Amino acid sequence: MTAANRTIHAIVNQEAHRAFESGLNVLLCVGETLEERGEGGFEEQKPRLESIFREQIEIGLNGLGAYLGDMKLVIGYEPRWAIGPGKTPPDAGYIRFAAETIRNAARELYGLDVPVVYGGGLKVENAEAVSAVSSISGGLAALTRFTVPPAFSPRGLKEIIDKYQHRSML
């Protein structure tokens, strides 16, 4: 991880501390850049990804366990390289690996069992696949239409939820 990315995660950690101190629950987001993911196939990328996720969790969760009596913490995983219209999100296997690695790092480093949600844009096209990933505890839906112009509608959100729940109930 670059020094700049370490600094970003340290700032996020400080913000999480302030949020807890203010009585807010925290959604702490982690995810790799395209450069961090690197070249090669998924098997070649796995060791790099594991190192990146572990370092992000080590920095991001530092000292947060002290707040977890009355407060709640959820980790949002979003591959930063897949952010934006026209980007292809990772498949279920990639998401499973990321979520399991993140959860294991939180357990090993801090003894925390923290839910991990997919923050990479839950949408109709991927809701069933994401809900099938047992290591994911849910997903975030920010938009319901990703084409230009991007939009959000209650009807579109209901479609996403229905797709997610349909797969979860199978």
**Looking at the domain assignment, is residue 87 inside a domain?**
yes
Prediction pTM value: 0.87
Q: What is the pLDDT of residue 157?
A: 85
Where residue 18 sits, what CATH number does that domain have?
A: 3.20.20.70
Cα–Cα distance, 86 to 101 (Å, whole number): 27
**Full domain range(s) for residue 27:** 3-122
- 73 lies in a domain? yes
**pLDDT of the residue at 141:** 82
Q: Which pLDDT band holds residue 112 (cuts at 50, 70, 90)?
A: very high
pLDDT of residue 44: 94
Task: For 118-152, write each residue's pLDDT tens digit.
Answer: 987 788 888 888 888 889 898 888 777 777 777 78
Give me the phi and psi of 18, to 5 degrees please: -65, -40
Q: Is residue 143 part of a domain?
A: no
Residue 162 counted as domain residue: no
Contacts of 45 (CB under 8 A, 6+ apart): 37, 38
Nearest alpha-carbon partner for 37 in 84, 75, 5: 5
The CA distance from 147 to 155, in Å, is 16
pLDDT band at 85 (very low <50, low <70, confident <90, very high): low
pLDDT band at 167 (very low <50, low <70, confident <90, very high): low
| Residue 60 confidence class, pLDDT cut points 50, 70, 90 | very high
CA geometry: angle at 134 spanning 44 and 142, to 5°? 90
